[in-house]
Homo-oligomer: A and B are copies of this chain.
Amino acid sequence: MASKDGFSWTESDGLSSGIPCIGAIEPSSNITNDESDFDVIVVGAGYSGLTAARDASTSGTLMASPEGVGRKEALTDSIDEGLKVLLLEARDRIGGRSWSSDIAGYPYEMGGTWVYWGQPNVWREISRYGMQDDLEISYDFSRGLNRYILASGQQSQHFTHDEEDALMESALSKLVNVDGSYGRVAVPFPHSLTLSPEERRYDQMSVADRLAEIQNDLTPNERLCAEAFVLLCSGATLETTSFYEFLHWWALSGYTYEGCINHLVRYKFRHGQSSFAIRFFREAEASGNLSYSFSRPISRIRDLGSRVEVIARDGKTFRAKRVISAIPLNILNDVQFEPPLSPGRKAAANVGHVNQTVKVHVETSDRDLRSFTGISYPHNGLIYGFGDGETPAGNTHIVAFGGQHNHFHPEDNISRTIAAFNGFTPMKVDRIVFHNWSRDEFAKGAWFFPAPGLLSNHLKDLRERQGSILFACSDWAIGWRSFIDGAIEEGTRAAATVRADLIGRPRL
């Protein structure tokens, strides 16, 4: 199976779009032309939508009046066949902003690579699907170059990985130490539903603002490291990165640099991210309650009170009692809502989030680079990179990240893309694989990252329902917002709400 998404390049084949994906669904639809009425329509088949569709389609099915809840004898005559779920997806595949492509026997991660057992929703699912032993560690420092390269344009310094850790830890500790406790006092409960006044104050600051406060405390190398790491997280610029949100990531990760590495970039699926996502889809499918239609972008969602209509771009209209919109923030404005989006949600959609990460993979025959990590900043288009695996051919797989800082489109100029990799250290590039999220009309950016003010102004707005429409997306999750974990958190929440509405279950 293949998706139309993604690009690959080799010297011999040149550039081509569309790459393999085990999450591409064929046939693309299991509905017949006359099927148009459902209990729930889920718009979007990323992890939020997949979780919502799975949980709704496998829900218990007793129909009970609110009065009858908990009184078993009242329920025996009120049996229904369950929540009929329609999953609509604009793309030809599941996963949204998170998917993997198997090329020459190796899974390249287009987005949302890493998971960790400290991410509760992700790990609960990994455990539930018995995939605990399907992980591997991205790094292998056992052989080869085994160096951290800090390329700043003027010079290229080499360090051991222990020196890298010490440098990064020192740099980030200074960045986050707003309270003398490295963020532990400032952000004590990173999963809290509300931002404290202090947290809101940090959300009014950009990381650039924070760096200005501590500019005399950072060595030049610490500054390079701190800035590059922040940009790796936000995919934005220092000026457009909310300082609070970086603190939030730091707090979620346990307030240490090692915690950040463990939670953010260390453990990935041996068979690629899509091997995980497909479990959700198959489980929902097996319930017998799941209808789906891929490659079916929508144009309008109309809440008519007694029902909601979802109108596809091709004119086909679907109806349901509830709609779960798993549409990301940056494309919310591309769907017409009736009644219109609430003022707060609309304002947030107008602002959008700022992450325009450029994530690119290469395969190189230089085996010594397996143990390379590095920063190429501030001059380069790719800022942060490292050896991420060994391909079946024995070559090295390197992943690198850029963003709004020196933003570029990898497919526009392959020579320049190769040059950006050589901005870390010289390497022969044999293969390039990537997904251009900035030009993706169904994402318009990578994982959520907010500019200053967005969260304090609109996080609550983004989480609220509007009538019969629920909004579920990692972009406004509480805990691991921006992550697969947050997507599952949101899908879980939406499905529970729909169950409460339609099956008479109590609100959790």
| A496 adjacent to chain B (CB < 8 Å) | yes
Q: Which residues of B contact A135 (CB under 8 A)?
A: 189
Cβ-closest chain B residue relative to A480: B117
B60 near A82 with CB under 8 A, answer yes
| A340 adjacent to chain B (CB < 8 Å) | no
A288 near B62 with CB under 8 A, answer yes
Copies in the complex: 2
Could you tell me the distance between the alpha carbons of A100 and B38 in the complex, rounded to whole angstroms?
44
Q: Which residues of B contact A128 (CB under 8 A)?
A: 492-493, 496, 508
| A121 adjacent to chain B (CB < 8 Å) | yes
A387 to chain B, nearest CB (A): 18
| A69 adjacent to chain B (CB < 8 Å) | yes
B69 near A192 with CB under 8 A, answer no
Closest 8 CB pairs of A and B: A120-B123, A75-B288, A124-B124, A120-B120, A118-B118, A58-B60, A132-B191, A120-B124
28 A-B interface contacts by CB (under 8 A): A58-B59, A58-B60, A59-B60, A61-B62, A61-B82, A62-B289, A69-B286, A70-B285, A70-B288, A72-B288, A72-B289, A72-B291, A79-B79, A79-B81, A117-B190, A120-B121, A121-B123, A124-B124, A127-B479, A127-B489, A128-B496, A129-B508, A132-B192, A133-B193, A254-B259, A254-B262, A256-B256, A283-B505
A interface residues, how many (CB within 8 angstroms): 69
Could you tell me the distance between the alpha carbons of A478 and B259 in the complex, rounded to whole angstroms?
22
In addition to A124-B124, A132-B479, 13 A-B residue pairs with Cβ atoms within 8 Å of each other are A60-B287, A61-B61, A61-B62, A62-B82, A70-B285, A75-B288, A117-B118, A126-B191, A127-B478, A127-B493, A128-B508, A135-B189, A283-B508
A384 to chain B, nearest CB (A): 23
A282 near B127 with CB under 8 A, answer no
B57 near A60 with CB under 8 A, answer yes
| A150 adjacent to chain B (CB < 8 Å) | no
Interfacial residues of chain A within 259-311, with CB under 8 A of chain B in the complex:
259, 262, 279, 282-283, 285-291
Interface string of A471-505 (1 = CB under 8 A from B): 00000001100000000010011001000000001
Cβ-closest chain B residue relative to A117: B191
| A68 adjacent to chain B (CB < 8 Å) | yes
A165 to chain B, nearest CB (A): 12
- Quick one: which of B74, B117, B189 contacts A479, CB cutoff 8 A? B117
| A130 adjacent to chain B (CB < 8 Å) | yes
A287 near B505 with CB under 8 A, answer yes
A184 to chain B, nearest CB (A): 9
Q: Which residues of B contact A62 (CB under 8 A)?
A: 61, 81-82, 287-289
| A153 adjacent to chain B (CB < 8 Å) | no
Q: Which residues of B contact A126 (CB under 8 A)?
A: 191
Cβ-closest chain B residue relative to A488: B124
Given the known inter-chain contacts A118-B118, A287-B62, A505-B286, please indicate yes or no for A191 contacting B123, CB distance below 8 A.
yes
Q: Which residues of B contact A75 (CB under 8 A)?
A: 288
Interfacial residues of chain A within 225-272, with CB under 8 A of chain B in the complex:
252, 254-256, 258-259, 262
Could you tell me the distance between the alpha carbons of A283 and B60 in the complex, rounded to whole angstroms?
12
Q: Which residues of B contact A120 (CB under 8 A)?
A: 117-124, 127
A498 to chain B, nearest CB (A): 13
| A426 adjacent to chain B (CB < 8 Å) | no
| A188 adjacent to chain B (CB < 8 Å) | yes
Cβ-closest chain B residue relative to A71: B288
- Among A70, A255, A286, A493, max chain B CB count under 10 A is at A286
| A415 adjacent to chain B (CB < 8 Å) | no
| A394 adjacent to chain B (CB < 8 Å) | no
Interface string of A67-97 (1 = CB under 8 A from B): 0111110111001011000000000000000
Could you tell me the distance between the alpha carbons of A72 and B57 in the complex, rounded to whole angstroms?
12
| A506 adjacent to chain B (CB < 8 Å) | yes
- Among A76, A127, A255, A285, max chain B CB count under 10 A is at A127
Given the known inter-chain contacts A57-B60, A127-B120, A506-B282, please indicate yes or no for A72 contacting B30, CB distance below 8 A.
yes
Q: Which residues of B contact A132 (CB under 8 A)?
A: 189, 191-193, 478-479
| A406 adjacent to chain B (CB < 8 Å) | no
Q: Which residues of B contact A149 (CB under 8 A)?
A: none
A289 near B60 with CB under 8 A, answer yes
Could you tell me the distance between the alpha carbons of A191 and B69 in the complex, rounded to whole angstroms?
38
A286 near B70 with CB under 8 A, answer yes
Could you tell me the distance between the alpha carbons of A252 and B71 in the complex, rounded to whole angstroms?
42
| A194 adjacent to chain B (CB < 8 Å) | yes
